[in-house]
Chains A and B, each alone.
Chain A
Amino acid sequence: MHDLGALSDTAFLIASTIKVLVAFVVTLVVVAMWTLAERRFSAFIQDRLGPNRVGPFGLLQPAADGLKNLLKEESSPGEAAKFYFMLAPMLAIAPAFLLMAVIPWAAPLPTPWGLVDMVIADVPIGILFILAFSSLGVYGLFLAGWSSNNKYAFLGGLRASAQMVSYEVSLGLSLIPVFMLVGNVTLTETVWVQQEGLGIWFAFPLGLAFFLFVIASFAETNRLPFDMPEAEAELVAGYHSEYSSMKFSMFMIGEYAHLLTQSALMATLFFGGWDIPFWQGDDMRVIAPGVVEGAEPAWWKSLLTFFAFAAKTLFFAFVFIWVRWTLPRFRYDQIMDLGWKALLPTSLAFIMLMAASILVLDTLGLPFGLGYGLILTAVNLVAMVLFFWVLDNDRILAGASARREVERRPSEDEAVVVEEPEEPAVPTGAGV
């Protein structure tokens, strides 16, 4: 227990202001850099080099893009509902940035004026706040599609809302096992339980939930393979067909900010947040203003844990890019099938399984700790093997090669062949 003194009211105000500014600016800069990263990584994947001419390694490319978008003509369709047309990009961008406010990004920082939490607002409803605000993003998309008065944009907006509603359910349900282990919904508590309480990152005892969360996150952020609302091959540009210049850019910034916050959430909820693995020196939590339980806070620990958090977040952000440039888009009915028939029942079943396991372990009187976590990991492993075995056996999803396989060798694999109609005899000499 370390008492480093609480911040005075003035110091708290100043510290919070600085934190808000820093978090906002850093997120914006990383978003800008991530648009560049997306283009560079996609280029590397396709054996190209990507934009590398503006500034060193093309680092000023986002600035050039931003300037271009600011200077572009702003068009507004004549039949559009002006107010909502203007409102939509703002609604798309705001929720994504708001999420950054509740995510803890480093260990608490001791200062001469007292201890500063490295989270803007450690709200007691942490994860619920995130679920509430990440689903607000769909209003921006749907309003954009509806107010444009364009059939393609409208279809994009409809798809956005259908997809969001479907995957929001599994997103929320996949987090319930986390609540059950933490016994709380604050994110700082989640990090602490992964550091000390359970002593193991939730990705191990709750691996299946993590997998479902990742899939639902892809759908939430409208990234390929779930970018139905945009679907440029079918819907021109989907919900933002009619947008130009900075308004279009705001949708883009919103998308990337959403991507970043979802990556930060994956890191926080399932990969220990700012925890550095195999090191007890950073295991601390604030139990009252200025009072820390666990290890002694230090400025260099805050810095190191911030780097750990950044590395985890950027890794998941990279996975988003990697998947985007590998997998093709699903068909609309496949997305709905996957959401309602696969993810929803699986997440419900996993909740039941975890609840039962926790109940059994508690009844047996096992202390909450590493052993507890390892038993849950074993249970989870069985669940995952079962899940992937079912998913892998063509019960829900099938690769495109399934079709090709059938065409190539129709005579083999005749396990269940129903009678075929006889070929109608070709009339010989007809039409000559």
Chain B
Amino acid sequence: MAIGVRKVRRPESGTSYLRAALKGMALTFRHMVDPRKVTQQYPDEKPNIAPRWRGTHRMEVHADGRPKCVACGLCPTICPANCIRLVPGEDDQGNRYPIVYEIDEFRCIFCGMCQEVCPVEAIHVGQDYEAAEFTRDRFVYDLDRLMAQDHPVTALWDPSDPLSE
């Protein structure tokens, strides 16, 4: 049995190449003269980033310039990428402070768990995305550099307001 071939008379409106081409030309022309464009002129025009954006870290400081960190060791313990190096120290009054506090931003996966676990709200991930450097070793941020960062810190997720409204 021969293969049945179905012959369908096509409606002219749907089959005309010319009309379709002209329609397309009209559409592209409308888009060409439309002043609304989607391009973001990045260095001149900064993108809006979300309040819970997690970027490079920032260490909060006391009014007298000491870091708020009490060297409890929770953040290097919870860090899944193992990128935080902490050497704790203790002064005469028994206050603990970090002698060495380094974060390797290359190893960091920006999960934000260090910020969540910190009992004194010292270490934060921040709303920052311009982290380019010329050498690889510049990506290991030491304590001074972390304290010098001044971009806004990331808002933590609030279970009572899950959509951050």
Q: Is the interface of A mostly helix, strand, loop or mixed?
A: loop
A43 CA / B15 CA spacing, docked (Å): 29
A322 CA / B19 CA spacing, docked (Å): 16
Q: Which residues does chain B contribute within 8 Å of A398, judged by CB atoms?
A: 10, 15-17
B81 at the A interface (CB under 8 A)? no
B36 at the A interface (CB under 8 A)? yes
Q: Which residues does chain A contribute within 8 Å of B36, judged by CB atoms?
A: 47
A419 CA / B6 CA spacing, docked (Å): 8
Q: Given A41-B32, A44-B32, decide whether A394 and B21 contact each other with a Cβ distance below 8 A.
A: no
Q: 1/0 per position for B32-64, CB-CB distance to A under 8 A?
A: 111011110100000000000000000000000
Residues of A383-432 whose CB lies within 8 A of B: 388, 391-394, 397-402, 404-406, 410, 413-421
Q: Given A326-B28, A327-B21, A391-B18, decide whether A413 and B11 contact each other with a Cβ distance below 8 A.
A: yes
A271 CA / B92 CA spacing, docked (Å): 95
Nearest CB in chain B to that of A398: its residue: B15
B89 at the A interface (CB under 8 A)? no
> How far apart are A395's CB and chain B's nearest CB, in angstroms?
10
Nearest CB in chain A to that of B19: its residue: A392
Q: Which residues does chain B contribute within 8 Å of A399, judged by CB atoms?
A: 14-17, 19-21
Q: Is the CB of B7 within 8 A of A401?
A: no
Q: Is the CB of B29 within 8 A of A418?
A: no
A46 at the B interface (CB under 8 A)? yes
Q: Which residues does chain A contribute within 8 Å of B37, judged by CB atoms?
A: 44, 47-49
Q: 1/0 per position for A43-77, CB-CB distance to B under 8 A?
A: 11111110000000000000000000000000000
Q: 1/0 per position for B137-150, CB-CB distance to A under 8 A?
A: 00000000000000
Q: Which residues does chain A contribute within 8 Å of B6, judged by CB atoms?
A: 410, 417-418, 420
B24 at the A interface (CB under 8 A)? yes
Nearest CB in chain A to that of B10: its residue: A402
> How far apart are A151's CB and chain B's nearest CB, in angstroms?
31
Nearest CB in chain A to that of B7: its residue: A416
B1 at the A interface (CB under 8 A)? yes
Q: Which residues does chain A contribute within 8 Å of B18, judged by CB atoms?
A: 388, 391-392, 397
Q: Given A394-B10, A401-B20, A413-B9, decide whether A45 and B31 contact each other with a Cβ distance below 8 A.
A: yes
The contact sample of 16 A-B pairs, CB cut-off 8 A, is A44-B31, A45-B31, A45-B32, A49-B41, A327-B21, A391-B18, A392-B18, A392-B19, A393-B12, A393-B16, A400-B20, A401-B15, A405-B10, A416-B7, A416-B8, A416-B9
The 4 closest A-B pairs by CB, nearest first: A415-B9, A397-B17, A399-B20, A402-B15
